[in-house]
Amino acid sequence: MSAAFAAASVGLFTPTTDTPGAHTWSSAILLFVIYLALLLRYRVTDEWKDFAHDSAVYPDRPVQRGVVSPRTLFVIGAGAFAVELLGVLLIGGALGFVLYLPVLAYSALTVFEFFSAPRLERHFTLSFVLHEAIYLPLFLWVAVVLGAAPDWRTAAGVLACTALFVSVELARKFSPRFDTEGRVVLDTYSAVWGRGRTLGAMVVLVVLSGVLATTAGAGLASPVIAVVAAAVALARPASDRWVTTVVAIHLPLQAAAMLS
């Protein structure tokens, strides 16, 4: 996943006047490291943030069973954060680091549920939108440090990457989950919104990512891949495994199209 978004970012945001070379490869590698560290940090903070909920409904998970200790989580999270910041400094310099601070500030708000946890617990969709919105400033920052022009193509690229990322997030939590008594837990998109709405949103985001990528300067392969993936996903809408597998396969294919 991190490699796919590193490729997509380099493809959409590297100025067309630049000749591909060592600089492009170094940017791709650093973005891969940053994305990987960022996602790992998010995973650790989610484990901390959702500990009470997961302990109540998913007692067999590694953290809940004590297989992974709080100390281990802290070390992993702190290490990921340090690597993330180092990558940011290497790819963006001092200015890039300063420009990354709003992304860090927003991510801190997500950890503390925007200091409105009870309200967000009652409004699942609002919580979803607020949490996923962080990828807009993240990809905007990537565009800036890669030297993208401040124009509508760059804006389309930021939206394309965000749509692609959110489509993967919907696939990640598409299937319903059950507690120890076999009851559906209302913490997945299909459980809260319904299967049809969730599938529809996922398909729209897949297609939108391809269309926006073309607007941002990618070739016609982007919308073609997106439309084909959407059609294939809808061919067997009742199968969770089918739908999520199609979206998972679409990610690297779309990233390759954005890179080319």
Give the pLDDT confidence of 50-77 residue by residue, as tens digits.
Answer: 888 888 888 888 888 888 888 999 999 9
**Residues 6 or more apart whose Cβ sits within 8 Å of residue 50:** none
pLDDT band at 49 (very low <50, low <70, confident <90, very high): confident
In the predicted structure, residue 20 carries a pLDDT above the cut 80: no
Q: How far apart are CA 242 and CA 177, in angstroms?
A: 17
Query: Which of 23-37, 93-107, 146-160, 215-229 is predicted least confidently?
Result: 23-37
Number of independent structural domains in the chain: 1
Q: What is the pLDDT of residue 171?
A: 96
Sign (positive or negative) of CA dihedral 156, 23, 167, 113: negative
Domain, as residue range, for 57: 2-259
| CATH code of the domain covering residue 93 | 1.10.600
Dig out the tokens for 220 from the structure.
Answer: 């016609």
Pick from 218, 106, 93, 103: which is nearest to 154 by CA?
218
Q: How far apart are CA 157 and CA 141, in angstroms?
A: 12
Burial 3-41 (b: 16+ CB within 10 A, else e): bbbbbbbbbbbbeeeeeeeeebeebbbbbbbbbbbbebb
Q: What is the pLDDT of residue 21?
A: 55
In the predicted structure, residue 22 carries a pLDDT above the cut 60: no
